[in-house]
């Protein structure tokens, strides 16, 4: 039973990690290099991550500077940023690309907070689905007389504690990200 329990805990951790990854791509008005994590650039016919073909740094609070390893990549990088639809317009001076993050409007901040909450709810649903799968497995084991009724109750109680722990962790993540977005 213990290795099964670990398997469900691992799945729940992956759901939380996935949510954390999604949250890093949501911009909160400040320059954040992680917003570029999912962008790939055509590098000699191979799709390559932007981080592998350029140096990305935060030059000012709301400006990212992208310095390609090869100057010939500037056009490709610009094209990739524009097609990624980040709401940012790249400016280049022939050597580096600058991305300036505009100040977010109150309305846009509220939209982003809604998005944060929606993604958080999806992660909670994923956690609850994992709990359901775990409880189904426990019930099957009890029916097959692999575990006693007491063991079933204990296992279900442990799964519930784990679920509550991860759901509260997600709630905290939602609150922190929402606060970060609403901070001007």
88 token code pair? 């940012």
Q: How many domains does the chain have?
A: 2
88 and 53 belong to one structural domain:
yes
CATH of the domain at 132: 1.10.132.20
Q: How confident is the prediction for the chain on average, in pLDDT?
A: 86
Domain boundary among 79, 100, 121: 100
Domain boundary among 100, 127, 157: 100
Neighbours of 125 (CB within 10 A): 11
Give the tens place of pLDDT for each residue, 119-128: 999 999 999 9
The structure's pTM equals: 0.71
Kindly give, in sequence order, each residue whose CB lies less than 8 Å from that of residue 161, ignoring residues fewer than 6 positions away: none
Give the tens place of pLDDT for each residue, 20-79: 888 877 766 677 787 787 788 888 888 888 888 888 888 777 788 889 888 888 888 888
Per-residue CA distances from 1 to 7, 126, 133, 144, 149 (Å): 10, 22, 14, 14, 14
How confident is the model over 132-150, as a mean pLDDT? 90
Domain that holds residue 57: 33-100
113 and 45 belong to one structural domain:
no
Are residues 158 and 5 in contact, defined by beta-carbon separation less than 8 angstroms?
A: yes
86 and 112 belong to one structural domain:
no
């Amino acid at each position: 039973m213990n290795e099964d329990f670990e398997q469900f805990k691992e799945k729940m951790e992956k759901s939380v990690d996935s949510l954390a990854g999604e949250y890093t791509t949501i911009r909160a008005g400040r320059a954040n290099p992680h917003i570029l994590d999912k962008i790939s650039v055509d590098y000699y016919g191979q799709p390559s991550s932007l981080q592998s073909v350029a140096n990305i740094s935060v030059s000012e609070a709301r400006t990212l500077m992208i310095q390609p390893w090869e100057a010939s990549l500037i056009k490709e990088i610009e094209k990739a940023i524009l097609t990624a639809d980040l709401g940012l317009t790249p400016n280049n001076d022939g050597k580096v690309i600058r991305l300036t993050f505009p100040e977010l409007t109150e309305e846009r901040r509220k939209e982003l907070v809604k998005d944060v909450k929606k993604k958080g709810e999806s992660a909670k649903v994923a956690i609850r689905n994992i709990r359901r799968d775990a409880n189904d497995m426990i019930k099957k084991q009890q029916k097959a007389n692999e575990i006693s009724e007491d063991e079933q109750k204990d296992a279900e109680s442990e799964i519930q504690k784990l679920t509550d722990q991860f759901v509260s962790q997600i709630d905290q993540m939602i609150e922190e990200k929402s606060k970060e977005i609403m901070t001007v």
